[in-house]
Structure 1
Amino acid sequence: MEKKVLGYYGEQAALAYVRQEKGYHVRCCNYRNRLGEIDIIADDGHTLVFIEVKTRMTEAYGLPCEAVEQRKRRQITRVASAYLAQFDLWERPCRFDVIEVWPENGGQPAGRHIVHAFLAERR
């Protein structure tokens, strides 16, 4: 599966999961600014959740969540800070989650939701 197609597949699976299984209110997908991108931004009750989705065909190179290394965490933190500033949401509690997705043979994706996957990172 092509990398872009695999990423889109994973993001759609994660989106369906947070909406249908978790009951989150999705604010936006693929939020971008000059600092980078966040895959999904959603409300879990009063908590604002910034979600990074990682999709892999195999675990040959490690778990998908392992790709969210320090540089990526810092980038997500900067983008999230800009989002909070843009919409004046500084008073909202926030967290950073990672959703791992693996395509399954039967057509249904398998996944794992890591709540509070990391804390905001600064330089």
Structure 2
Amino acid sequence: MARPAATSPFVPDPAAQRKRLLGERGETIAARHLTGRGMVLLDRNWRCEAGEIDLVLRDGQVLVICEVKTRTSTDYGAPLEAVDRRKVDRLRRLAARWLRVHDCHPEDVRIDMVGVLAPPGRPVEVEHVEAIG
């Protein structure tokens, strides 16, 4: 009986690399879209042991925590459908952590979402939803 090949942390998984690159592309598109609307990008891919915030921006006096979801098709649902209540709750906790770490005291904090649909060979679609949670 054939034994499955061992995976090595030193050998990149092609599917994981494609997913990571797609996510990075979507975050770049989302950041460009939001800054083009006047927001100021403060942080990108901020991480702690509790998770990651894709984008942190300032929209006037409001701090915006932004989750970005990128898809190449809607075969498994639209990008915005990928965020559930659990994810929103996690983003709230991460926002509180980011504020503590950065000793930041904005007038208000908002959680937004940007869905990026980037089908190969077709125009990219960007959907921005403010205050998802």
Structure of greater Rg: 2
Whole-angstrom CA distance in 2 between matches of 1:88 and 1:13: 28
Runs of 4+ in structure 1 over 2 Å off: 87-92
Q: Is residue 51 from structure 1 mapped to residue 63 from structure 2 by the alignment? A: no
Q: Could you tell me how far apart the structure 1 residues matched to 2:78 and 2:125 are?
A: 13
TM-score, length-scaled by structure 2 = 0.80
1:64-79 to 2 correspondences below 5 Å:
64-79=79-94
In the TM superposition, residue 91 of structure 1 has moved relative to its aligned partner by 4.7
Separation of aligned partners in 2, 1:86 and 1:15: 22
Tell me the residue number matched to 2:104. Answer: 89
Give the SS at the match of 1:117.
coil
Q: By how many angstroms is 1:23 displaced?
A: 1.2
Gaps of 5+ in 2: 1-14
Taking structure 1 as the reference length, the TM-score comes to 0.86
Single out whichever of 2-11 and 63-72 deviates more from structure 2.
63-72
Contact 2:62–2:106 (8 Å) recurs in 1: no
Structure 1: 5+ residue stretches without partners: 119-123
**Cα drift, residue 34 of structure 1:** 1.4
Structure number with the higher strand fraction is 1
- Give 1:8's match in structure 2, choosing from 24, 34, 39: 24
Map Cα deviations across residues 59-93 of structure 1 (whole Å, 9 max, x no partner): 11112112111221121111111011122334530
Q: Specify the alignment match of 2:3 in structure 1.
A: none
CA deviation digits over 1:73-119, x for unaligned, max 9? 1211111110111223345301000000011424x42110001122x
Between the aligned residues of both structures, percent identity stands at: 33
